[in-house]
Amino acid sequence: MKAADERFQECDALIDTFENVTKHPIVEQSRVYYTGVDLGTACVVVVVLNEQFQPVAGAYQYADVVRDGMVVDYIGAVRIVREMKESLEKKLGTELLYAAAAIPPGTASLDSGVIKNVVQAAGFELTRVLDEPTAANAILNIKNGAVVDVGGGTTGISILKDGVVTEVIDEPTGGTHFTLVVAGALHLDFEEAEHYKRDPKHHKELLPVLKPTIEKVADIIKRCVAGHDVEEIYLVGGTCCLTGIENVVEKYVGIPTYKPKNPMFVTPLGIAKSCTKEIIM
């Protein structure tokens, strides 16, 4: 078995490249561009890959257009995605045609229509819709274990056995709840607490304050993996940027838990990597 760090080498390198190209896009000739749109509760991320599936541009914006995986501000969501698309097209000097999108597991019948409409209304040809943890695994390439995406609004889990997803669940607990706890504990308003929480300098101080909320997430994981043969847990999603979250989860669930260097962009990169030229839905 590969050591955890070695396992994340490719993923970490890809994320480094992505973070670079959000600041300095790579303008080059590519026959085709693949775009991933991650319309999250806390953050909208757009990733552009070239024909070799390497990141060439990207952008992210905190926005309040989705709640618990449901689009609550349709017009706002379309506007944000369209503006991000246009801005990236300008930087790259090309039109972005194809896009993939993801939905929290279990919401397919409820909301995938709305997510699809947002991406299409923003001007993309939507070629693929998949669930979030499965998208994340397009980058992690886990064969056995659980991939857990703790985003802003929800925690999505997919369990893999021999490379095949055997179970997916999504429950409404995520970073927004963490922010509310920070706000309450430090007497800050939501926005202040959100910024305070994201600053790694504050993570050591916040970990004990957030431990019960992390354990709530860990309890969701524990219930989901019960009865499955899960030997490793992989954390992704912005909330897992919290320093030390993996140790609290590991201790509570009792299964070795790992995360890449920057877990926030794994799912958006996986969505883009899953984008195709032909429609697969």
Ligand X SMILES: Nc1ncnc2c1ncn2[C@@H]1O[C@H](COP(=O)(O)OP(=O)(O)OP(=O)(O)O)[C@@H](O)[C@H]1O
- Give contact residues for Mg ion (rule: CB under 5 A): 40, 151
Of 43 and 81, the one with the shorter C-beta distance to ligand X is: 43
Question: Smallest Cα–Cα separation from 137: which of 269, 4, 281, 278?
Answer: 269
Of 50 and 158, the one with the shorter C-beta distance to ligand X is: 158
105 binds ligand X (CB under 6 A): no
Question: Smallest Cα–Cα separation from 144: which of 123, 166, 126?
Answer: 166
Q: How far apart are CA 149 and CA 152, in angstroms?
A: 10
Whole-number CA gyration radius for the chain? 18
Of 25 and 151, the one with the shorter C-beta distance to Mg ion is: 151
CA distances from 213 to 150, 181, 182, 193, 257 (A): 12, 8, 10, 15, 17
Contact with ligand X (CB under 6 A) among 25, 133, 153, 260: 153
- Which residues share a beta bridge with 166? none
Smallest separation (angstroms) from Mg ion to the CB of 205: 26
Smallest separation (angstroms) from ligand X to the CB of 9: 22
For helices 132-140 and 9-23, angle between their N-to-C axes, nearest 10 degrees? 110
Smallest separation (angstroms) from Mg ion to the CB of 186: 25
Of 105 and 151, the one with the shorter C-beta distance to Mg ion is: 151
| The entry of ligand X, Mg ion, none that residue 25 binds, CB within 5 to 8 Å by partner kind | none
The residues in 232-251 that bind ligand X, with binding defined as CB under 6 A, are 237-239, 241-242
CA torsion 75-76-78-79 (nearest 10°) is 110
| The entry of ligand X, Mg ion, none that residue 55 binds, CB within 5 to 8 Å by partner kind | none
Beta pairing, strands 34-39 & 98-103? parallel
**Both tokens assigned to 57:** 């541009």
Of 94 and 131, the one with the shorter C-beta distance to Mg ion is: 131
Residue numbers at the binding site for ligand X (CB under 6 A): 38, 40-43, 66, 69, 151-154, 174-176, 179, 194, 197-198, 200, 237-239, 241-242, 264
